[in-house]
Structure 1
Amino acid sequence: MGEKTVVKLAAEHSRYRLVIAFICGLIVIILMIMGLASTDWLMSDGWRQGLFIHCIEENAPQPLPFDMQEPPGCYQSRDAAYIHAAAALCVITLVTDAAATFLTGMGLKTKDHHSKYKYYRYAVIIMGLSLVSILVALIVYPVFFAAELNRGNRTIWEFGWAYGVGWGAAIFLFGGVVLLMCDKESEEIYYKERKIVHDNDSRA
């Protein structure tokens, strides 16, 4: 197998990994929008709590959790620091992942190697920040909720599908970061190999 063929195969494999990283970024955008919009982060009998809204269902057992007195309906989230912090971190996750996904797409589109390497380098840094943000949110939310369980007025609490969506986003972000980190290095190796091939051709 000639040097040109090896370089071409390496470039194709690198592109496949980057396309998968791009798809991971798109999936995270969808998951984060779903999680931010949902009220099903934390649930108990007659109570649903999201990052921006909490809902009291009809015929919810009394007393309501956290000393609430409102009638059935949906209201702005409680004034709890950990809820606001988790919401802010999830918004940061969405914004930074969207930026990293855009940069990955630009890297896939451009033909200039130097620009590709720059796009991927920034993309992996920003996606890494996105991963850290969602992980902190997913840890802060249950830890600080546990500290106020004595005000919950419920025996059984469970984390809803929206909280699980957050972990799903974290998994896809981790995959995207790993793929981008691998291909940031492979792009550099590919460039060096391609340069060697071109130098050999010029001397031939």
Structure 2
Amino acid sequence: MAPVTTIETITISRPLKVIAFICGCFASILLIMGLASTEWLLADRYRQGLFLYCVEKNSSNVPFVPENGERATEGCHRIDWNIQGYTVVAAAFCAISFLVDLFATILTALGLRCRDPNRKYKYYRTAVYVMALSLVAVLVALVIYPVCFAQIMEKSQRPVWEFGWAYGVTWGASIFLFGGVILLLCDKESEELYYKERTITYAESNNKV
């Protein structure tokens, strides 16, 4: 009888990295919802997003007054960037945040699939920096939008307004991004094993059937 050694390689998937990947996916979905929605700010039969504002029938509470003094007509209209140019800036930062987060999520997925320890660590390390950049971009948009709108509200005769669900959804995206960054930082792959080997030794029988 001759001993036979079998080496079994077991790949270990880090739970925190998987959760970070999920956080990146949810953040991307929420950012798309925020960009597409027209409910960042709400007033009486009025809603406003990053690109459009919509006025419903018999609305008497338009939160801003156009320079020409004309009352906004019923329906959805493109925001006058001469009056509310900050919405374009906020939209640009949200779009940048979405694209950067998408890239960070792809890097995290590549890290999860990669078998080479060195490349895996590089993927995760790069994903941390990229996702942090996405977080900063969306926070800038979330701060710019209400601050600049408040300046317009000071000149408005109808100061009654509130934040819509899309603004809250974008804050939700920032929370997911923050969680993804923390999870990628906490689970340090450089200090842990990526795989382990199991050696099985057994006796090979010379009996033949």
Pick the TM interval, shorter chain: 0.7 to 0.9
Q: CA offsets per residue over residues 8-29 of structure 1, 9 Å max, x none?
A: 8xx85x7100000000000011
- Secondary structure of residue in 2 paired with 1:65: coil
Q: Which runs of 4+ in 1 moved over 2 A?
A: 62-70, 150-153
One of 124, 147, 154 as aligned partner of 2:151: 147
1:164, distance to aligned residue in structure 2 (A): 0.3
Larger gyration radius, structure 1 or structure 2: 2
Alignment of 1:117-132 (within 5 A): 117-132=121-136
1:45 is aligned to 2:40:
no
What is residue 71 of structure 2 aligned with on the other side?
A: 69
Output the aligned Cα RMSD: 2.1
Asked whether the equivalents of residues 32 and 169 of structure 1 are also in contact (C-alpha less than 8 Å), the reply is: yes
Identity of aligned residues (%): 50
| 2: CA distance, partners of 1:21 / 1:109 | 14
Output the CA distance in 2 between the equivalents of 1:141 and 1:70.
21
Q: 1:51 to 1:64 in 2, by over 3 A?
A: closer
- Which residue of structure 2 aligns with residue 28 of structure 1? 27
Query: Which has more strand, going by share of residues?
Result: 2
1:140, distance to aligned residue in structure 2 (A): 1.0
**Unaligned regions of 5+ residues in structure 1, if any?**
1-7, 199-204
**The one of 97, 102, 105 aligned to 1:98:** 102
Q: CA deviation at 1:76?
A: 1.4
Q: TM-score, normalised by structure 2?
A: 0.81
Structure 2: gaps of 5 or more residues: 1-9, 198-209
Distance of 1:111 and 1:73 partners within structure 2: 55
Distance (Å, rounded) in 1 between the aligned partners of 2:16 and 2:145 = 33
Larger relative contact order (C-alpha < 8 A, sep ≥ 6)? 2
Q: Which amino acid aligns with 2:98?
A: L
Q: Check the 8 A contact 1:45/1:154 in 2, yes or no.
A: no
8 Å contact from structure 1 (residues 44, 154) kept in 2: no
Residue deviations 1:157-180, cap 9 Å, x none?
100000000110111100000011
TM-score by length of 1: 0.83
Instruction: Report the AA paired with residue 71 of structure 1.
Output: T
Structure 1 stretch 40-49 or stretch 65-74: which is displaced more?
65-74
Q: 1:171 to 1:190 in 2, by over 3 A?
A: same
- Asked if structure 2 preserves the Cα contact closer than 8 Å seen for 1:21 and 1:180, the reply is yes
Cα shift readout 1:107-129 (whole Å, capped 9, x = no counterpart)? 00110111111111111111000
1:56: how far off? 1.1
1:56 aligns with 55
Structure 1 residue 85 and structure 2 residue 84: aligned?
no
Q: Which has the higher helix share?
A: 1
Query: Match of 2:169?
Result: 165
Deviation for aligned residue 1:62: 6.6
Is the 2:128–2:185 Cα contact (8 Å) retained in structure 1?
yes
